[in-house]
Amino acid sequence: MSDKIVLLPDNIANQIAAGEVIQRPASAVKELLENAVDAGATEIKLIVSEAGKTLLQVIDNGCGMSETDARMCFERHATSKIKNIDDLFHIKTMGFRGEALASIAAVAQVTLKTRREEDEAGTLLEVENSVVQRQEPVATPKGTNIAMKNLFFNIPARRNFLKSNAAEMRHIVEEFTRVAMAFPEIRFTLTSNGQELFYLEKGSLKQRIVQLLGNSYNAKLVAVNEETDYMNIHGFVGKPETAKKTRGDQYFFVNNRFIKSAYLNHAVMSAYQEMIPADSFPMYVLFIDIDPSQVDVNVHPTKQEIKFEDEKIVYAFVQAAVKHALAQFSITPTLDFDLDASIQQLPSVSQPFTQDKKEIVTTSPLYKGFTQKNQAHFIDRPSASELKHWKDFYEPIQKKPVFFDHQEENSAPTFISPPISSGFTVDENTELAQVLQSYILFPTTESFLLVNQQAAHERVLYEQMSLASEQQPITVQRSMFPITLDITPSDAVILNELLPHFKILGYLIEPFGKNSFVIQGTPADLEPGQEKQIIDFTIEQYKHFNSELKLSQREKLIRSLARQRAVKTGTRLTEQEMRQLLKNLFACSVYNIAPNGNPIYLEFKKEQIERMFGR
């Protein structure tokens, strides 16, 4: 009988090993950017085409390589970082195992140009399927220029598993952000399909954070800076009002290497306890400097998961540092989250206090009575016109969510079929009550329902938009004064991908230069002044749904919009609004389950209640 065990050919072994390191274009971006950083570059350019599937190129002005090193760097486990076993426990560089270039060369067509400062000519190498096809001298600037073309050209099955260009581009931006965040002293640029997405000048960490995550954080960052003999921590955390429903803006770096750690994330979350809602996530960019001998970074192929020798000390230190920073800036848990959160999004609060409004207020005798001396007992009775101005000034606060889509209050909405399946009837004689400004009590013959008003409205909006996406698109109301929306580059990638779906749902949004969009129109039933907040928060919710792989883009968007536009918990409703909301709900094809799978109402039957009272 012949022997069964044979050695794999080198090219097949390399392709199998590459699967651990290079899973998608973004994996190659991470490895190439980290190599450029290790080379001591002060300027790094990333150029991608077709989300890295066609071209992924990194150009740096680092130390470059000799002709021999250029040839050796594509061999597996060839590295300049480790000479003996002790070096493995004192690693201060980003890469060290010598797998990156070998893995890339196994699954792509690679062109490398490199030159050291002391060399007159550089070296050109072309590698395909782990085999050097061409090597010759070349004129090239100091540093390294490496281009990876046609990723997975020799493994069609792997290429088929790649997502859409927009999805892969999101991952590339994510990896680029992580490396650029860690090294604000390096100039980074990112160009995609000929368009420059990022141009990050050298600067401070705070400037880099604002460049990458958006101007909204500019005045809402709290500095963290603690030093001990064991470890140091520095960086920034967001003030409680910046907390979001998704984990997006959370970055931990250990010795300048981005890591993922649920354990340390819990330490930060516990520092924010009682300052933010339980389902929200604070923003943070935190750098931990610790003796490399106390850390094992060699526990994961991408080196994003690490182990500390003493995790409990690190946890306690991170928690204490964040708590101390928040306390120093007088940020204490005094916020009352039982208040109506939607008030903060109203135009009267979010829009600027214009000079016209200021003049109306300051010329009023009522204002003078409170601001001038000796006027407490001499307040004139305001005229009718003055009272009208005050009423106009506060009017936006009294606006309510729209439940009837510009129809008469007693008429059924056109998008809902007649109620035939629910068995619940709501008419003008039905007595309704609101409980805790969040739930509606609805009596039936032998029971009563406790209806979650936000979940109910989400279901109504969800069915309206689902029907529109399948049949006739929602009518767009064009804006007389279009609104400009400036967002982060990573969010711009998402929004560009969603523009056709937004249009079907009544939102006409057009690109307007780099990372800017113009909202030209919105659904006819949308309250004016809320457009920007709705788009911003919808993108956040969309990112929240990205973990649910089985949902289509449109489904995620509809769910996100429904959640954002729904009447919020803590909003007081009139009896007519409650009545209309329940009519719309019981006319839905599914009226008992919210789009996220949670129940919309609980039913308390008479016999259950009597048993509870021992009858």
Of 13-17, 283-287, 501-505, 547-551, which one has max mean pLDDT? Answer: 283-287
**Residue 8, exposed/middle/buried by CB under 10 A (0-12, 13-18, 19+)?**
exposed
Interval 369-389 mean pLDDT:
54
Taking the CA atoms of the chain, what radius of gyration do you get in angstroms?
Answer: 30
pLDDT tens digit string along 188-247? 999 988 888 889 999 999 999 988 888 878 888 999 998 888 889 999 999 888 887 767
What distance in Å separates the CA atoms of residue 558 and residue 461, rounded to the nearest whole number? 9
What distance in Å separates the CA atoms of residue 246 and residue 293, rounded to the nearest whole number? 34
Interval 416-434 mean pLDDT:
65
115 or 391, which is more confident? Answer: 115
Q: Mind giving me the DSSP string for 377-408?
A: T-PPPPPHHHHHHHHHHHGGGG-----SSSS-
499 or 390, which is more confident? Answer: 499
What distance in Å separates the CA atoms of residue 53 and residue 108, rounded to the nearest whole number? 10
The pLDDT of residue 564 is: 76
For tokens 């973990």, name the residue. 547
Q: Which tokens go with 167?
A: 């999805």
Interval 99-115 mean pLDDT:
85
Q: Which CATH architecture has domain 206-328?
A: 2-Layer Sandwich (3.30)
Examine the pLDDT at 415 and tell me if it is beyond 50.
no
For residue 261, give the nearest of 275, 271, 247 by alpha carbon: 247
Q: Picking from 61-65, 400-404, 563-567, which range would have the lowest pLDDT averaged per residue? A: 400-404
Q: Sheet harboring 143-149: ordered strands across? A: 131-138, 122-128, 109-115, 143-149, 55-60, 43-49, 187-192, 195-200
Q: Mind giving me the DSSP string for 444-479?
A: -SSEEEEEEHHHHHHHHHHHHHHHHHHSSPPPEEEE
What distance in Å separates the CA atoms of residue 581 and residue 164, rounded to the nearest whole number? 39
The pLDDT of residue 551 is: 65
Q: Are 76 and 99 in contact (CB under 8 A)?
A: yes
CA dihedral 176, 178, 184, 185 (to 10 degrees): -70
For residue 385, give the nearest of 368, 367, 362, 360 by alpha carbon: 360
The pLDDT of residue 188 is: 95
Q: Is 248 helix (H, G, I), strand (E, B) or coil?
A: coil
Residue 233 backbone zone (phi > 0: left; psi -120 to 50: alpha; other: beta): beta
Q: Are 258 and 300 in contact (CB under 8 A)?
A: no
CA angle, 172 then 175 then 176, to 5°: 85
| CATH 3.30.1370.100 residue spans of the chain | 433-604
Q: Are 61 and 43 in contact (CB under 8 A)?
A: yes
What distance in Å separates the CA atoms of residue 590 and residue 598, rounded to the nearest whole number? 12
| DSSP state letter for 8 | P
395 or 249, which is more confident? Answer: 249
Q: Are 257 and 246 in contact (CB under 8 A)?
A: no
The pLDDT of residue 136 is: 92
Q: Mind giving me the DSSP string for 270-288?
A: HHTTTTS-TT-B--EEEEE
What distance in Å separates the CA atoms of residue 445 and residue 587, rounded to the nearest whole number? 19
For residue 461, give the nearest of 538, 590, 559, 547 by alpha carbon: 559
Any residues with CB less than 8 A from the CB of 335 and at least 6 apart, and which? Answer: 240, 275
Task: Locate all alpha helices (DSSP H) within 471-530, ordered by sequence.
Answer: 489-504
Examine the pLDDT at 567 and tell me if it is beyond 70.
yes
In 193-259, DSSP assigns E strands to 195-200, 221-227, 231-238, 250-254, 257-259
> Across-strand partners of 144?
60, 114
**Helix, strand, coil in percent for the chain, rounding step 5:** 40, 20, 40
Rounded mean pLDDT of the chain?
A: 77
Any residues with CB less than 8 A from the CB of 237 and at least 6 apart, and which? Answer: 221, 222, 224, 268, 282, 283, 284, 285, 286, 322, 325, 326
Any residues with CB less than 8 A from the CB of 398 and at least 6 apart, and which? Answer: none
Q: Which residues of 401-428 are buried (b: 16+ CB within 10 A; e: fewer)?
A: bbbbbeeeeeebbebbeebeebebebee
Q: How many C-beta atoms surround the C-beta of residue 112 within 10 A?
A: 26
Q: Which tokens go with 135?
A: 């090597």
Half-sphere exposure of 420 (CA within 13 A, CB side): 4
The pLDDT of residue 105 is: 84
How many residues does the structure list for the chain? 615
Q: Which CATH architecture has domain 433-604?
A: 2-Layer Sandwich (3.30)
pLDDT tens digit string along 241-274? 888 776 778 899 988 888 888 888 888 988 888 7
Give the confidence band of 361 by pLDDT, cuts at 50, 70, 90: low
Helices 489-504, 553-565: axis angle to 10 degrees equals 90
For residue 162, give the nearest of 108, 240, 207 by alpha carbon: 108
CATH of 10-201, one of 3.40.50.620, 3.40.50.720, 3.30.565.10, 3.60.21.10: 3.30.565.10
The pLDDT of residue 57 is: 94
| CATH 3.30.565.10 residue spans of the chain | 10-201
- Percentage above 70 pLDDT, the chain: 74
Q: What is the largest CA-CA distance in the chain?
A: 113
**Cα–Cα separations (whole angstroms), residue 75 to 10, 145, 183, 198, 285:** 11, 18, 28, 33, 36
The pLDDT of residue 335 is: 43
| CATH 3.30.230.10 residue spans of the chain | 206-328
19 or 559, which is more confident? Answer: 559
Interval 179-185 mean pLDDT:
93
The pLDDT of residue 48 is: 94
The pLDDT of residue 3 is: 75
Q: What's the one-letter identity of residue 378?
A: F
Examine the pLDDT at 363 and tell me if it is beyond 60.
yes
Q: Is 131 helix (H, G, I), strand (E, B) or coil?
A: strand
pLDDT tens digit string along 449-492? 888 988 999 888 888 888 877 777 777 778 777 888 888 777 88
